[in-house]
Amino acid sequence: MKREKIMLEINRIEEEHCKGCEIKRVIRKEHGSAKELRYCQAVCKYGRTLVELGAEIVKTGQSRAYSGPSMYPTLENYEKLDRLGIPDKEKLPHLRIGSIHTLNRYKDEWGIANKRKALDMSLAEYQALSRVMNDRTICVYKGVKEYTLRYKKNQWGIL
């Protein structure tokens, strides 16, 4: 089967069966997305079909994932993989790196490390936002992680 036909079949299954799946929604809410994915792959007949279709794409060599030769961990090689849209975790074997922590050290050396964002917000601004948004939404709005907001709330003495 050609990649395009397989992708159309995957999209059809997801639209017709996965999108409104109540079981999937409940598992994600109670146990998180990793358990939901495991359930779908192990128990759900549509999930197993999706796994098989994905394996067929990989088996036929029509996958868009980078499968070139491994490289040395240089900024240039990292950026090549980054331009291909490959997530950091999947870059590890191509860059001959054993862990994400090692990659983060390299990124630090190259000056491209993800730095934590400081939360520049006053208590009054937080109180105004918290009337109309929950903490998670405030974090998304401000572009920070939830633990950053918890730290700030602790400083304000409202945790």
2-58 pLDDT, tens digit per residue, is: 777 888 888 898 888 888 888 888 888 888 777 777 888 888 889 889 888 888 877
What whole-number percentage of the chain has pLDDT above 70? 90
- Confidence check: pLDDT of 64 > 80: no
Contacts of 81 (CB under 8 A, 6+ apart): 66, 71, 91, 94, 95
Joined tokens for residue 83: 């331009």
- Pairwise pLDDT comparison (16 vs 68), residue with the higher score: 16
Closest CA to 82 of 90, 68, 117: 90
- DSSP character for 118? P
pLDDT digits (tens, 9 = 90+) for 25-37: 888 888 877 777 7
Instruction: Answer whether residue 66 shows pLDDT above 60.
Output: no
Look at residue 105 and tell me whether its pLDDT is greater than 90. no
* Calpha distance 9→123 (Å, rounded): 51
- Note the pLDDT of residue 153: 92
> Average pLDDT for residues 92-121, to the nearest whole number?
81
Place of tokens 């208590």: 123
Residue 128 has pLDDT above 90, yes or no: yes
User: In this model, does residue 110 exceed pLDDT 80?
Assistant: yes
Q: Which amino acid is at 85?
A: G
Residue 80, pLDDT above cutoff 70? yes
